[in-house]
Chain A
Amino acid sequence: MKRNSIFVGLLVLIFGLSLLFVSGCATDQAVKSETIKTDAIQADASMKDILADETAKSKAGWVAFQKEEAARKMLLAEAAAFKDIQFAFDRYDLSPEARNMLGGLADWMSKQAGWVLTIEGHSDNRGTLEYNLALGERRAEAAKTYLTGLGLAEKRVTTISYGEEMPLDPANNEAAWAKNRRDHFLLVLK
């Protein structure tokens, strides 16, 4: 910045001298050129202030952003920590463990106003595909009914059934079937 202003000053001086040489009203021009020089220096100073200010601000912003990011990550981790709930074959009633989990979820959502929930209902691959779609739907609806019963606003919860189409474990044994008969909870910050 400084080098620039010296350069500008020099230029102005040369320009001024040359004007002095050719015309009688050179003095006024030279004074004016001084003003410009002063302006340039002032501008330089104010730029410094702005820069300093910006840096301070962005530092604060960065810290705030870091904090927000950490909080967001924590919320995301919390949101992702709500595990699937399982169901018995051809059933859609909630187990005590499922109710317990849903209680925690309702509590969390009551504190996190911006979040909405999608409940995905799933079945194992035994029996008819269409009936399994209905089972998945019933399982998702059972969880939704329980959550709204705990005071969660209905508009914050949607359900979808995937029936037997998206198994967690594609194997055909009791352990895999038990894993696949589930509700999966998808929390999204709106």
Chain B
Amino acid sequence: MRKTISFLIFSMVFWCSSAACGKVYIDINSPAFQKFPVAIPEFRNLGNTEPGEDLSAWFADQLSRTLNITGFFKIISPDAFLEDQDSAGITVGEIDFSNWSSIGSDFLVKGGFSYDGKNLAVEFRLFDAIEGRFLTGKKYWGKSEEKKVMVLKFADEILLALTGRGGVFDTKIAFVGKEGNNSEIYTINFNGSDPVKITAYHSITLSPQWSPDGSKIAFTSYKDGNPDCYIRDVVSGTTQKVSSFRGLNLPASWSLDGRKILMVLSKDGNEEIYIKHLGSGRLQRLTDDRAIDISPTWSTDEKRIAFVSNRSGSPQIFVMDSDGSNVRRLTFQGSYNSSPCWSPDGTRIVYEGSSNGRFQIFSIGENGDNFMQLTFEAGGGESPSWSPDGRYLVFSSKEDGRERVCVINANGLNLRVLPGIKGVESFNSPSWSRHLDLY
């Protein structure tokens, strides 16, 4: 895809990139963040031929949906539009910005397309409607079926222009889908498109964990009777059994270089945490305690590991150095805290904890500071996993006894439920990939 669409920045971005010229971006992760109000009127047909479908409305609608999914935009309803769309143009000189600022739209996206029966050329422009300024623009050429990718790419440009960083449209979420007592691994794109069934073992299959380059998923399956650990190459479709000791063989987080994986094995009588070196197969045992030690997660610099242990009586989050030394308890609030996931910026750890009989998502600094509750939904939250940019969390939540996969912004706002899959009753254990080469 990347190669098939040629694109061109057809006008210079007015603001140069962030710090160099002192541009200050709004902290979109702050609880006080107000969504960017943006209006996206229908795109103009700039060509002489009709595309055979209503692309004017399609582009406006698709871009609105895509920006809405990010959780950072308030899409202004077309009902409020004052501009005469038949006469208005798509460049600064042709737009009366008061038509937009007066309806509360701080930002405006305008676009146009032309279609020659085979190829599509699309222009997108983002404006600051308050100051009447052009912010960024792109023109894409491609085949008609690539129009969705063009929208995703420009949505990424809008995020980059307004927040200093692009989005996570090029990421996927892996999760477990349950049908009766059977469960399989699935993946889905961040925007909820393109669900893919990865396994079909008709057995119990659990705990998907993306490799850092997104080419592999580690998981546990009972397909041969015992809960053994497998690695699926999602590119070639091959699967390798990597650990089959008696008892539990559970994968956890991968190292950034993809050469090591944290694992939980109970081969020696109880659950202990190991580093498995995938090249040599060597196991390095990190914990040695009669209690349950489980669910390890590496810090971004891989110097420390957070994990769950019930060595103090109930499950709590502990932190240790990556060689297993210097173990200290991190959580003291509540009687059940588990499933830690270290944030990509390394500053905090999210986990699930019991609160008034439900499990909710909390976050805490590595030193026990900045404790906060992130979810308050009736369905609760379990098994949180960070997006690679640290702006979102994915987790599972119960509704009518069934679990679904939800995404929230890192500030706890803007809950979005990922779409279901036909025939699958319940979803859990989401794992967010890093940036992939999707588009």
Please give the residue numbers on chain A whose beta carbons come within 8 Å of chain B beta carbons, in ascending order. Answer: 90, 126-131, 133-135, 137-138, 141, 159-162, 165-166, 170-172
Query: Which residues on A sit within 8 Å (CB–CB) of B231?
Result: none
Those 7 A-B pairs whose CB atoms lie nearest each other, nearest first: A128-B338, A134-B292, A128-B339, A172-B401, A165-B204, A134-B271, A131-B338
Which of A127, A131, A138, A160 is within 8 Å of B226, CB to CB?
A160
A129 with B207, Cβ < 8 A, contacts A90-B315, A90-B336, A170-B401 known: yes
B-chain residues with CB within 8 Å of residue A172 when the two chains form the complex: 398, 401
Q: Which of B154-185 contact A (CB under 8 A)?
A: 181, 183
Kindly state the separation between the CA atoms of A130 and B383 in the bound complex, as whole angstroms: 10
**B359 contacts A131, C-beta separation under 8 Å:** no
A176, chain B: closest CB distance, angstroms: 10
| B248 partner, pick from A127, A128, A137, beta carbons under 8 A | A137
Query: Closest Cβ of chain A: how far from B269's Cβ, in Å?
Result: 8
Task: Please indicate the chain A residues that have their CB under 8 angstroms from the CB of B336 in the complex.
Answer: 90, 127
* Cβ contact of A130, chosen from B207, B310, B359, cutoff 8 A: B207
CB distance from A153 to the nearest CB of B (A): 17
Contacts of A141 in B (CB 8 A): 269-270
Q: Is the interface of A mostly helix, strand, loop or mixed?
A: mixed
> Which residue of chain A has its CB nearest to the CB of B353?
A127
Name 27 A/B residue pairs within 8 A (Cβ), A-sorted. Answer: A127-B359, A127-B382, A128-B338, A130-B207, A130-B294, A130-B295, A131-B295, A131-B338, A131-B339, A133-B227, A133-B248, A133-B250, A133-B294, A134-B266, A134-B292, A134-B294, A138-B270, A138-B292, A141-B270, A160-B225, A161-B227, A161-B248, A162-B222, A165-B204, A166-B181, A170-B401, A172-B398
Count of B interface residues, CB-CB < 8 Å: 36
Q: Does B308 contact A (CB under 8 A)?
A: yes
Within 8 A of A (CB), among B325-372: 336, 338-339, 352, 354, 359
Which residues of A lie under 8 Å from residue B204 when comparing CB positions? Answer: 162, 165-166
Q: Which residue of B lies closest to A131 (CB)?
A: B338
Q: A171: which of B294, B401, B429 is its contact (CB, 8 Å)? A: B401
Q: Across the A-B interface, how many residue pairs have beta carbons closer than 8 Å?
A: 80
A129: contacting residue among B206, B247, B292, CB under 8 A: B206
A135: B residues at CB distance < 8 A:
292
Task: Name which residue of chain A comes closest to B429, CB basis.
Answer: A129
**Extra pairs beyond A133-B227, A160-B225 (17, CB < 8 Å):** A90-B310, A127-B338, A127-B354, A127-B382, A129-B428, A129-B429, A130-B207, A131-B295, A134-B294, A135-B292, A137-B248, A138-B292, A141-B270, A159-B247, A162-B222, A165-B204, A171-B401
* Bound: A23/B428 CA distance, A: 99
B residues 290-321 touching A (CB-CB < 8 Å): 292, 294-295, 308, 310, 314-315
Set of chain B residues within 8 Å of A127, measured between Cβ atoms? 315, 336, 338, 352, 354, 359, 382
Contact A137 B266 (CB under 8 A): yes
- CB–CB B383/A129 < 8 A: yes
Which positions 57-84 of chain B face chain A at CB distance < 8 Å? none
Question: In the docked arrangement, what's the CA distance between A170 and B400, Å?
Answer: 11
B121 touches A (CB below 8 Å): no
- In the complex the two chains form, is A128's CB within 8 Å of B295's CB? yes
Q: What are the interface flags for B383-412 relative to A under an 8 Å C-beta threshold, 1 for contact and 0 otherwise?
A: 100000000000000100100000000000
